[in-house]
Amino acid sequence: MDTNTNFDAKIIDSSIVLAELLPDEKNSHIVEKYFTDFFERKLDFIAPSLLKYEVVNSFRSQFLRKRLSVEKTQLLLEKFLSWSIIYKDVDFKDVLKLAILTNTTVYDASYLYLSKIYDLKLLTLDKKLSSL
């Protein structure tokens, strides 16, 4: 596994990131422990670049629903972008095959793909995705 680290690593999706960042999301003790380890540099988070788009789009949606102010949206974005998540490219041919095989979106298959090729646990709050 090429994660440039001597520590443990996990693949993360946007549901985990948003559970940590959004003020009204319920965050389990397990998710809190993962983030504590991440911030203490005991754990690396790996994700496809897609994660950035999903998280930022969610901020936009939260703003449009008037759940976040402009200022809070900007603060959350800065916080998220400051995290040292390791972004990896995916093989889109393999991701498409995996999406078809698992009957998931290409987006979800991107996370599954990284989980499979790096043999790492996928952290997600999506019950369907976590069962694959």
pLDDT band at 1 (very low <50, low <70, confident <90, very high): very low
Distance (Å, whole) CA 103 – CA 56:
25
Q: What is the pLDDT of residues 42-94, one digit of tens each?
A: 999 999 999 999 999 999 999 999 999 999 999 999 999 999 999 999 999 99
Report the pLDDT averaged over residues 105-116. 96
Q: Is residue 3 part of a domain?
A: no
> ∠ CA 56-57-60 to the nearest 5 degrees?
90
More confident residue, 128 or 122: 122
Q: Is residue 32 part of a domain?
A: yes
Q: What torsion do the CA atoms of 10, 16, 21, 26 make, to the nearest 10 degrees? A: -130
Q: 88 has which bridge partners?
A: 48
In this predicted structure, the answer to whether residue 32 has a pLDDT above a threshold of 50 is yes
pTM over 0.75, yes/no: yes
Mean pLDDT for the chain overall: 90
What pLDDT, on the 0 to 100 scale, is given for residue 5? 44
Q: Is residue 1 part of a domain?
A: no
CATH for 114: 3.40.50.1010
Q: Is residue 94 part of a domain?
A: yes
The boundaries of the domain holding residue 120 are: 8-130
Number of domains into which the chain is organized: 1
| Token code pair at residue 10 | 């996990």
In this predicted structure, the answer to whether residue 39 has a pLDDT above a threshold of 50 is yes
Residue that has been written with the tokens 């950035």 in this structure: 52
Q: Is residue 2 part of a domain?
A: no
Distance (Å, whole) CA 88 – CA 95:
13
